[in-house]
Structure 1
Amino acid sequence: MKQVFVENVQERDWVESPFLVRDKVMAMAKNGKPYMTLKLMDRTGEIEGRVWDRVDEFATRFEKDDFILARGKASVYLGKMQLVVQDLERLSDEQVELSDFLPVSTRSPEEMESELLAKVASLRDGFIRRLLESFFADPEFLRRYRTAPAAKAMHHVYLGGLLEHSLAVANLVDDICRRYPGLNHDLLVAGALLHDVGKVEELCYERSFDYTDEGKLIGHIVIGVEMVDEKIRAIADFPRRTATLLKHLLLSHHGQYEFGSPKRPKTIEAVILNFLDDLDSKINGVRTHMEREPDNQSGWTAYHRLYDRYFFKHSFGDEAEGLPREAATPASDPPAAQGREIPPQTQVAAAKPQAPAAKTGGKGGEQRSRGMSFTLGDQLRGKSLDLFSTEDDKE
């Protein structure tokens, strides 16, 4: 059992603990001597590892995504904690517990699974219920669905994240349908539970969170539509109109073409799913960012490069005069480096914080971010406001 976690490492600590190697880079110092930079990970975060001695020998012992037992001394360099590794050895899978190395949902998998199956059983549309049951009655699929993260870097980035996010959107659907009568509730619930179903194939999450080859080449939206279509074809007399409307929910749930959506929402249910998905993902993303610095006494978070802003951490009920004087406002300029990983697709855009945030990163497939534009006007600024227009639907 792992004893020392990244979040507990202090300067000058001697650390002897297993880590998951998220990245491994060989380089050459100015004096011509080789060195190695590692990203060492556990469920609480990452720490940079540096190997200065015996580099060639250690490099042959392990590869990226291996588990290693690292021994070294912690030190702070340029404001960031790092581990100067003096010895290491590769560990087998049997010697570690995966939950020690990848972040996990705070919700119990068993509890979420029970909630999922109860929600499916409550649906009145027999065809939609049978479709969902055909997915979740498969033990292997259910295991993957309840294990997968919802994304690689933007939101619900932990084991169980996909199921947690999908249930949250489905519960928001219940709330919306109570407020706005006349909506197709069962169709929306199916859209909520299946809109990211392709992520069980798009993402790999056995060691670290990354994209599969299929995920990079096709993406979770198309993968998900293919999975749904295959299940529908196995159900006799499944209504074609229902199938079309459900596939449209999946194809349009990212809202706009520039956010990776093959279609824009053109039914009221699709518009709702787009915004509920976006709402839950952003709430989780901002909360996660706020929780990354539990020891930071400032009233403000560090600068978030993808959302292009700082966030105020205190609740609205706090008295302004209770804030530390130095925490009243964030730094006027974003820090040059925060030590956070930016997905490769977003590094160029993230380096220009003055650019519109809506084009700096990605959610779901994470090839583009929706920024923090919460209003319909913000998301559709400069676009045709006719959701049902056929003139500009040329793909």
Structure 2
Amino acid sequence: MSRRYVNQLSHGDSVDEAFLVADKQLRANRQGNLYLQIELRDKTGSVGARLWNATEDLARSFEPGDFLRVRGKTQIFQGSLQVILTHIDVLDAGRVEPEDFLPQSSQNVSKLFARLRELLLAMSNPHLRALVECFLIDDEFVAKFTSAPAGIKNHHAYQGGLLEHVVTLLNVADRILDLYPEIDRDLLLTGIFLHDVGKIDELSYDRAFAYTDEGQLVGHLVMGVELLREKVLRTVELTGESFPPELLLRLKHMIVSHHGAYEYGSPKLPMTLEAVALHYLDNLDAKIHTFGREIRDDPSRDSSWTPFQQSLGRRLFKGTPGQAADGDTSDF
């Protein structure tokens, strides 16, 4: 029998299926009774689940990254689908198909990487092109960069998500840069490539998506600057030419400032044209992806609106159910 994925579940469904544990918390209700709050995941998405009357021994029997066989029933709670569990069993990883559980980019990763190479290796600045080549000839780096997500729960939170995010930004920049001749094209493209490069080691993504110890303690901005410095030294070794100090400084600044505001984790505000452009392009792609996902994945099919999204501070308008937003104005 074929499995049922998260995106096939709806209110009132009985569930008897295997899932990956993305997160687990043992909590107590108002009466002091313990229950388990679990985030279950497969390649199509994740769903929250609760098991009432849990025990500490049961909570210790599995961890994020393990696989569970669960039974229960779905319900809509505060606008979101969740599973009320009646039974769970820990599964041996050898009994499941790993590709069923980690979400992956819907785009062809090989084609995305080919497009990345096409845009970056066409740059005319010899120092930036040599720097990029040092990244692209590093097989270990390429393997990580093409499989890493761009986040754990927010935008592009799936394998290949980082590559997809970066290539989208490169494509947007490639289309609009003729409108902004004052921006250094090669510098912006390189900054786009490098802005989230630290995420390849900030995150773990072989099973459940999580932060590594270094990711928790240091973060991808600092880790990205360290990786850049390492590759610049390698570039100098391979080319025999010094790397321009100001060019390196501008690249470092783009990495550490691309979040755009102190409250969003930027230690510095964008202070160059290329850094400003990177921040707004990055924010645009992240927001469009996040808003689109909330609309697309909303389980309430009969409503014109999503539930209130705490992280976004608003509800989102989906349109009248059954009517496409096709721009038909014939009645006006």
TM-score normalised by structure 2 residue count = 0.85
Gaps of 5+ in 2: 237-241, 320-324
Are the structure 2 counterparts of residues 18 and 2 from structure 1 closer, same or farther at C-alpha, using a change threshold of 3 Å? farther
Deviations 1:194-243 (CA, angstroms, capped at 9, x unpaired): 11101112122222222222222221111101110111122222222221
Paired-residue identity, %: 39
Aligned position for 1:327: none
Instruction: Quote the Cα distance in structure 1 between the aligned partners of 2:78 and 2:286.
Output: 32
Aligned position for 2:297: 292
Work out whether 1:317 is the aligned partner of 2:327.
Answer: yes
Are the structure 2 counterparts of residues 57 and 235 from structure 1 closer, same or farther at C-alpha, using a change threshold of 3 Å? closer
Aligned position for 1:349: none
The letter of the residue matching 1:265 is P
Instruction: Quote the Cα distance in structure 2 between the aligned partners of 1:93 and 1:103.
Output: 17
Aligned position for 1:220: 220
Match of 1:242 among 241, 244, 247: 247
Work out whether 1:107 is the aligned partner of 2:107.
Answer: yes
Match of 1:252 among 246, 254, 257: 257
Q: 1:218-367 alignment to 2 at 5 Å? A: 218-236=218-236, 237-293=242-298, 296-314=301-319, 315=325, 317=327
Instruction: Quote the Cα distance in structure 2 between the aligned partners of 1:160 and 1:298.
Output: 32
Aligned position for 2:200: 200
Q: Report how far residue 26 of structure 1 moved.
A: 3.5
Gaps of 5+ in 1: 323-395
Deviations 1:35-56 (CA, angstroms, capped at 9, x unpaired): 4343322233333434357856
SS of residue in 1 equivalent to 2:247: helix
SS of residue in 2 equivalent to 1:17: strand
Q: 1:87-126 alignment to 2 at 5 Å? A: 87-126=87-126
Q: Which moved more, 1:291-300 or 1:167-176?
A: 291-300
Q: Aligned residues, how many?
A: 322
Instruction: Quote the Cα distance in structure 2 between the aligned partners of 1:265 and 1:57.
Output: 50
Asked if the contact 1:131–1:235 (Cα under 8 Å) also holds between the matched residues in 2, the reply is yes
Are the structure 2 counterparts of residues 16 and 178 from structure 1 closer, same or farther at C-alpha, using a change threshold of 3 Å? same
TM-score normalised by structure 1 residue count = 0.73
Asked if the contact 2:20–2:65 (Cα under 8 Å) also holds between the matched residues in 1, the reply is yes
The letter of the residue matching 2:99 is S
Asked if the contact 2:20–2:66 (Cα under 8 Å) also holds between the matched residues in 1, the reply is yes
The letter of the residue matching 1:262 is P
Q: Report how far residue 186 of structure 1 moved.
A: 0.9
SS of residue in 2 equivalent to 1:71: strand
SS of residue in 2 equivalent to 1:123: coil
Relative contact order higher in (CA < 8 Å, ≥ 6 apart): 2
Are the structure 2 counterparts of residues 243 and 70 from structure 1 closer, same or farther at C-alpha, using a change threshold of 3 Å? same
The letter of the residue matching 1:132 is V
Q: Report how far residue 74 of structure 1 moved.
A: 4.1
Instruction: Quote the Cα distance in structure 2 between the aligned partners of 1:277 and 1:30.
Output: 42
Instruction: Quote the Cα distance in structure 2 between the aligned partners of 1:230 and 1:200.
Output: 15
Instruction: Quote the Cα distance in structure 2 between the aligned partners of 1:29 and 1:78.
Output: 17
The letter of the residue matching 1:38 is I
The Cα RMSD (Å) is 2.8
SS of residue in 2 equivalent to 1:197: coil
Asked if the contact 2:79–2:300 (Cα under 8 Å) also holds between the matched residues in 1, the reply is no
The letter of the residue matching 1:224 is G
Aligned position for 1:175: 175
Are the structure 2 counterparts of residues 87 and 264 from structure 1 closer, same or farther at C-alpha, using a change threshold of 3 Å? closer
Deviations 1:154-209 (CA, angstroms, capped at 9, x unpaired): 31122111111111111222123211224311111100111110111212222222
Aligned position for 1:155: 155
